Structure 1
């Protein structure tokens, strides 16, 4: 029986080539979209699942609360929190590990020097995160002279030789002995880029000379803390238990203004956005968004199948009548029609594999991933085949039920009629198709408008022509005055300055500031940056009150510059210049206020930041290239100067405007993917529309011939065939616009700095959909209108 079903189904497909191609191509495109989205979602939800204990691992974060009870949660914690958790809550945490952020380092083995990224971590970090040792000892970081390498980094440095006990010089300063090699982490691990693990004790005791006693300093937050909770511990309840662990050491009895938060590893990737001290979303919204897009795109393809199958019902009516008259049951007819749709689905599945392979390079580029089809995974084939069968059943269910209910007596007597309202379901499905397509067009425009809105926000410094050169050994003495003179002498450089961190991030946050009139129970947190006196002139920050750092004032070593947000946070509305700020037992004088520079997210308020004059602690050198000077020539001259003073360290630099542009990467990626899926959705919708117009034109071929003989023009005939579909698109606009506005307006609420939704976006999207529809319809409409009426009427 089934063999006969599929044999008949194959004949139907072969005898109706155009409709078969449209159905297969539409379904194949929809299935390819679902396949790509499925692979993307699989990669996202499997993030950090490599780590065996991922369900019990977490990062301790800090929620800062300002005087208006606004909360901001950050990854930064102070160094002593690790010992505090171990000593006071040891039974609730199996492991606690402090760590630095992932920094770049110069690694030297003999004459070979390369750049490698790595973290300073406590010894139990490796066992916590189930790093797999290829060679050596997993507990080796108890020794402050030991280092652990990833397998790929070990191969780069030592080739096929064993790396164990080999000596590496790090940052041209300290020699470390390789005590272990661990297997490279997968790309969907948060620690993928950490190829080097260094001993934490050496880091906090010897590598931070500017911040003495880091292990006991509760006011300096610039580190990371990771924990493995005990099996019976609920992380949310544990947060409530330890939230005051920092404030207990800050003598702020009345108001708790800094709270610890236990953030589970399983939420790191998808729930990275915080609001009011709680995870409020993040990439999870993209998971839901693209899941919804995948379902609807596949639904569009299924609608095409339904529409074309039911539109051709008159042609299949006699077949149904004859089958029923010779004894076919309705269930058998349903089985026949479902076998046709399943056959189409499997043909579409094969095509979708080809389409997916062809689109994967573009998709990976847009999504920033390196995904491949897991064809060697049996689970993939099981899911794919099950999905294909379900797609065939869904797309063929309505036509099967519709066609199988025809009455054989009416069909064979020639009195069968599809009815006046038979086309209504098809029209409704076309409205659904274009409603979704129009909503996607609106969404894509608004995403890009939000990106452009944030890009147009004043950054309040000059980012063009600035490069940031990162040093791997902060605090080391270097002849920066001589370097600056040589750079200026090249003729390619306008200015140079140093800082303790980048100007596109806030690496350090500190508390412990006091000033006249401050509530003694209020513990505000400020971003801090230590700079040389020329930073303001190099990046051209905007002074709104007071003055900049200057060599003409010897007292600037005890002076600070505030941004506007810091001045507002202090609550001193007038005459803030000259005010005194107490910090670490020193009195600093406010000499100036600058406009808020966007150092972090362009979608959020600017963090209150204090700039100290301190040319001794340097993480980065900011170099301003002269306007109009060729970039390649300038870089060559800059590199030669730095090699002169530090020949052993490769020059590691980034363009500041490119660093700032990366802040839009997530939204840009969403916009690009939305554009990609919108194009495919419109293609599927137009494919179905093309098939329907082809059928309508064929069905009304004699009517068109008669009208043409009676004097109808090509324009009249085109208008007759086009207006019905144009009306459906107009109806789709009225459905899509309020739905799109509601969801996109909610999406924009997550941004503090956001665009407004203009009405022209809806008009433009509707016109775009209408024009695309008319172009699609016009090909077949004009073809039918210019056909020779003799051919259509000669059989009458």
Structure 2
């Protein structure tokens, strides 16, 4: 019996190849999109799950209350980690993790490693990153000890065994010994490192980081013993801080609270940020989109199958006359549904294999190296196909098996009102989703354009940044580069907009004459920095060579800092005293606020001071003409002054725009899935149009005989579907507005959702529907009426 069912199903699919292609391709595209979303969501949720003791690992973070603000830091003071491990027996181990760029050299090979990470010797005790060579208890115990990733080891040593060999590190060329080799850290870890260096290399004398309770730098992680309550442990921290640094907190007027973040919440759930962070809201959004696309694919299957129910009505009638039971017919049609889904499954495997590299590029990470890399992927996909086949095949099977043989054999079959309402409801559902996605795509695009084109308050065009890693070579380098043709100006800086800043403990005189304590962002610059970036001075003056005291006793602040200090206008802050990191002086100028961070964050108070020894960046303003030649000249100058050192540079505008790379990837993924959803919805609409055309073919024939034009028939068949799209638009508009309004809340500077966005989305949906419906409607309108009327 089952063999016979299979033959009938296959013959039916092959006889109506075009229709079957639409059905199978719609399912395959829907399942491919849904499966890619599943891979993405699983990858995001898998961050930091490779650690066996992950449920007992916590990140220690701090809230810092000052008279001016509350700082929610993703780190803690340098001494916190070692002292927590000593003071609390429930803490088995603690490690500090500090990421920085590190110059590394072996012979003629010289690189600046961007993912060099200083860690304590307990690092491998806490985390289960695989150590291929070396003893995990010994590899990081001595100063200048290095653990290299497999890739980094091959970069410097090729096929040689690196163990015991040395590399030169830092600008001074200090000899560091390779004590271990670790497997490359998986991409789904929020801690990333190509090279580990022992923390004692940094904290050993004469450095005194281990007693600097007011100095924040590394992230701190702890491993607790089994059964330890994080809440109970956390409740002991206030007494711990009071004992260690209570007097210091009161003196500095900076009161610290420590908290524990579970490791598995750091990447997706923490609001404190970090070097690598994800977005749980994006995971939710893509999960919903994936489910919607699968829903649309299932709806298509129902519509396209019931659209052919008229053609199969007589087949069902004959089968019932010769004794077929309803349950046998249900089984047959369910079997056909599953066969179609299994064919779609095979096609989905091929589509996913082809599209996965492109999807990884869109996501900006290797979500999956291949569909066959994990056997569970195939199993999930097969279950998905079978599930869709069963769920989506239930309604068509019941409808087809319920035909009354006497009526259908007399040609009196007609679909009931419930069936028509269901099919229309399904199309409304499809286009509600599609219109909502169109609105979302337009809003995301507009927000991205707004962020790219927003007035930033400074000039970043044709600006080249050289990272010298040292202030010693800046002066001769600047002097030589300034003389090059194509170079407009040069300046020094410790940072540039879009990069990280020093957070400096500051005391500044406020409007009441009190020395107000605050933790403020700090740029070290020279006298050419402000005019080079075209920052607008709104009060006082910029730094100048004409005033010798500017290099030691002068500060410039932005308008946000003026507001923080309580002054009614920028002029009021001029002359205010400051005490910052051991430097004392007065404010000489105020610059207009500019965006030195992403537009997702509000502009913060900023201070600027001159200190040649604290700067390591050379900022070069170049003519737009012959930029390649100018770059070549700069590189030649670099190689002359700093021979053998790698020439590292970047353009300011590209660097600043990197801040929005995550949002751009989100937007691109959203757009691609929206297009897929719209395409699959069009297939569903095509199916309903085909169904309606079959139902009304005799009416169309009669109208043509009595003189109806092609355009009038197309209009007749199209208008009811346009109504469905209009209803979908009314439903989708408030839903999309609410969803995108919430998404925009994550941006400190954002667009307003204009009414035109909804009008545009509605017009696009109607146009798409008209084009889709017209294809089938025109085909019916130009058909020979004799064929449709010959049975009358």
Which TM-score band applies after superposition, normalised by the shorter structure? over 0.9
1:735 shift after superposition: 0.8
Q: Describe the SS at the equivalent of 1:337.
A: helix
1:569-580 mapped onto 2 (5 Å cutoff):
569-574=564-569, 575-580=572-577
Residue in structure 2 matched with residue 568 of structure 1 by the alignment: 563
Identify the range of structure 1 (35-44 vs 218-227) with the bigger mean alpha-carbon deviation. Answer: 218-227
- CA distance, structure 2, for counterparts of residue 251 and residue 392 of structure 1: 65
Partner of 1:632: 628
Query: Aligned pair in 2 of structure 1 residues 736, 408: CA closer, same or farther (>3 Å)?
Result: same
Structure 2 CA distance for aligned equivalents of residues 676 and 110 of structure 1: 47
The aligned residue for residue 536 of structure 1 is 530
- Distance in 2 (alpha carbons) for counterparts of 1:408 and 1:345: 29
* Closer/same/farther in 2, CA of residues 446 and 234 from structure 1, 3 Å limit: farther
Q: Tell me, in whole angstroms, the C-alpha distance in 2 between the residues paired with 1:377 and 1:665.
A: 29
SS in 1 for 2:60: strand
Is the contact between residue 75 and residue 219 of structure 2 (CA under 8 Å) also seen in structure 1?
Answer: yes
Q: Classify 1:256/1:79 alpha carbon distance in 2 versus 1 (closer, same or farther; 3 Å).
A: closer
1:243–1:260 contact (8 Å) kept in structure 2: yes
In the alignment, structure 2 segments of 5+ residues that lack a partner are: none
Alignment of 1:326-725 (within 5 A): 326-370=322-366, 371-412=368-409, 414-420=411-417, 422-472=419-469, 476=470, 478-515=472-509, 523-556=517-550, 557-574=552-569, 575-625=572-622, 627-725=623-721
Aligned to 1:40: 40
Query: Are the structure 2 counterparts of residues 165 and 228 from structure 1 closer, same or farther at C-alpha, using a change threshold of 3 Å?
Result: same
**1:238-275 superposed Cα distances (whole Å, 9 cap, x missing partner):** 44443683873533399875433322221222124359
Give the SS at the match of 1:332. helix
Displacement of 1:435 in angstroms is: 0.6
From the superposition, tell whether residues 270 and 742 of structure 1 become closer, same or farther in structure 2 (CA, over 3 Å).
same
- SS of equivalent residue, structure 2 residue 574: coil
The offset of 1:354, in angstroms, is 1.8
2:6 maps to what in 1? 6
Deviates more, 1:346-355 or 1:246-255: 246-255
1:748-787 map, 5 Å? 748-787=744-783
The one of 277, 282, 285 equivalent to 2:281 is 285
Q: Name the CA distance, whole Å, in 2 between partners of 1:342 and 1:2.
A: 13
Q: What secondary structure, in the 3-state scheme, does the structure 1 residue paired with 2:491 have?
A: strand
Counterpart of 2:222 in structure 1 is: 227
Is the CA contact (8 Å cut-off) linking 1:222 and 1:509 kept in structure 2? no
**3-state SS of paired residue (2:196):** strand
- Does the C-alpha gap of structure 1 residues 498 and 272 become closer, same or farther in structure 2, counting only changes over 3 Å? farther
C-alpha distance 708-26 of structure 1, shift in aligned 2 (>3 A): same
What's 1:271 paired with? 269
Contact 1:533/1:549 (<8 A) preserved: yes
Q: What residue in structure 2 maps to residue 87 of structure 1? A: 86
SS of aligned partner of 2:217: strand
TM-score calculated relative to the size of structure 2: 0.93
Which stretch shows the higher mean deviation, 481-490 or 139-148? 139-148
> In 2 relative to 1, CA 726–321 (structure 1 residues): closer, same or farther, beyond 3 Å?
same
Question: Residue 258 of structure 2 aligns to a residue in which SS?
Answer: strand
1:597 to 1:56, Cα distance in 2 relative to 1, 3 A: farther
SS at match of 2:557: strand
How far has the Cα of 1:415 moved from its partner? 4.6
How many Å apart are 1:600 and its aligned residue? 2.0
Q: CA deviation at 1:308?
A: 2.2
How far apart are 1:646 and its partner, in Å?
Answer: 1.5
Q: How does 1:290-309 map to 2 (within 5 A)?
A: 290-309=286-305
- Is 2:149 the partner of 1:150? yes
Counterpart-to-counterpart distance in 1, 2:181 and 2:131: 6
Cα offsets for 1:45-72 (capped at 9, x unmatched): 1122223332222322233446576x44
Q: Cα deviation per residue 1:722-747 (whole Å; 9 max; x = unaligned)?
A: 11111111111011111111222222
- Secondary structure of the residue aligned to 1:359 is helix
The question of 1:57 aligning with 2:53 is answered no
Partners of 2:525 and 2:611 within 8 A in 1: yes
SS of aligned partner of 1:503: coil
Cα distance between partner residues in 2 of 1:374 and 1:787: 46
Distance change in 2, residues 1:111/1:412 (3 Å)? closer
Say yes or no: does 1:116 pair with 2:113. Answer: yes
Assess, with a 3 A threshold, how the Cα gap between structure 1 residues 386 and 394 changes in structure 2: closer, same or farther. same
1:584, CA displacement in angstroms?
4.1
> Which range moved further: 770-779 or 1-10?
1-10
Between 1:666-675 and 1:326-335, the stretch displaced more is 326-335
Counterpart for residue 97 of structure 2: 99
Evaluate the alpha carbon distance shift between residue 55 and residue 421 of structure 1 in structure 2; reply closer, same or farther with a 3 A threshold: closer
Is contact 2:126–2:223 with CA below 8 Å preserved after alignment?
yes
Q: 1:317 to 1:253 in 2, by over 3 A?
A: farther
Deviation at 1:512, TM superposition (A): 4.8
Secondary structure at the aligned position of 2:612 is classed as coil
CA contact (8 A) 2:68 2:516 kept: no
Q: CA deviation at 1:790?
A: 4.1
SS of aligned partner of 1:682: helix
The structure 1 residue matched to 2:210, chosen from 206, 212, 215, is 215
1:513 aligns to what SS in structure 2?
strand
Q: Distance in 2 between matches of 1:248 and 1:468?
A: 42
2: CA distance between counterparts of 1:794 and 1:325?
A: 26
Aligned-partner Cα distance in 1 for 2:701–2:122: 84
- SS of the aligned residue for 2:311 comes to helix
After TM superposition, give the deviation of residue 342 of structure 1 in Å.
0.4
Where does residue 159 of structure 1 map in the other structure?
158
Note the alpha carbon deviations across 1:246-305, whole angstroms, 9 max, x for none: 873533399875433322221222124359xx9xx9511111111111111111111111
Give the Cα separation in 2 of the matches to 1:636 and 1:240. Answer: 59
- Cα distance in 1, alignment partners of residues 183 and 278 from structure 2: 30
1:236 offset after TM fit, Å? 4.7
Assess if the C-alpha contact under 8 Å between 1:461 and 1:540 holds in 2.
Answer: yes
Contact kept in structure 2, 1:338 and 1:400, CA below 8 Å: yes
Output the CA distance in 1 between the equivalents of 2:597 and 2:519.
16
Count, aligned residues: 780
1:391-445 per-position Cα deviation (integer Å, ceiling 9, x unaligned): 1011101112222233344444555432355411111111111010000000111
